[in-house]
Amino acid sequence: MPTDSQSTFPIASELTPTEPVRPVSPHVHEPVNPNNPRWGLGGAFLVWVASIILLAVIPLFFLIPYSLHRGLDPGSVEYVNNLASLALTDKTAIFLQVLALLPTHLLTFVLVWALVTRFGKRPFLPSLGWGWSGRLRFWASVGLGVALFLAGTAIAKLLGADQPTQLEQIINSSPGARYLIAALAVLTAPFVEEFIYRGVLYAALQRLVGVAGAVLVVLGLFTLIHVPQYWPNFGVIAAVGVLSVSLTFVRAYAGGLLPCVVIHLVFNGITSILLLIEPHLPKVGPASEQAASAVLLANLWLPVSGL
């Protein structure tokens, strides 16, 4: 016969835990898979559109105050035309538009971070595939960056790299613009473009339309925003397309984003060095071969300036 203490609550001892329950930390994240992201295509597309809008709008916060300083009247019916002319011809105005790329890139980082992490609820870099795989590691990525630079040079020259481009005019407008573009091409542009195109866009697309469909769509979007910069230089436009396809295939093959960023960084690093030393190179005729490489290929991975 059970005692009173045993019969009152016969299963009480089974319900009482032998160890205290430890609450799950809110900072513990579930495992992430960069090829099966938590964000959808709609969010990725909105971030892409927002990044383009930022590229067009942020320079105005620099240009409009400068136009007032130069005496342009905002109330004039010709103000928009005068502002556009100032943006294309004034060296200081051009430099300010290049400078505007820095806050544009930073705000784009914030947009990507907000989408990927849901405002800090999920890990950022692991969600994008920030790590090395057994397929492609650091030195192989560096080598691919050099190879892509050489391939881009050959493609641009083969298809005609002698046509002047808008961004070439920006680079040649002043030493300050040249140095700033070279710095942004290494410090921010590879990360911004890879996070958007091979990061949030590719990951969402390949889940819906497969690898081949994602490669084609990313190629189209990436090439589309670069055409205004390089028109009518078909050689550079073709090189942009080939390089975009190559990086997107690297993303699919490696399964993560880090190799793409390293390749992009190496590519831009080479072009930035050439861009900086180009004014000091000996000239052969109207333009040296070194100058053509530095000016044209430094354009390939820089975002639209908003001009």
pLDDT in tens, 29-71: 567 889 899 999 999 999 999 999 999 899 999 999 999 999 9
Helices (DSSP H) in 201-302: which residue ranges? 202-230, 234-254, 258-277, 289-297
CB atoms within 10 A of CB 201: 22
Share of the chain above pLDDT 90, in %: 57
CA distances to 8, 20, 292, 302 from 53, in Å: 71, 53, 31, 16
Are residues 149 and 267 in contact, defined by beta-carbon separation less than 8 angstroms?
yes
pTM of the model: 0.83
Per-residue pLDDT reduced to its tens digit, 230-280: 777 788 788 888 888 999 999 999 989 999 999 999 999 998 998 898 888
Q: Judge residue 255's burial from the number of C-beta atoms within 10 Å of its C-beta, 0-12 exposed, 13-18 middle, 19 or more buried.
A: middle
- SS in 3 state form for 182-230? HHHHHHCHHHHHHHHHHHHHHHHHHHHHHHHHHHHHHHHHHHHHHHHHH
Q: Reply yes or no on whether the pLDDT at 122 is more than 90.
A: yes
CA distances to 233, 239, 271 from 246, in Å: 20, 11, 18
Per-residue pLDDT reduced to its tens digit, 193-232: 999 999 999 999 999 999 999 999 998 888 778 777 777 7
Domain boundaries, the chain: 38-278+288-297
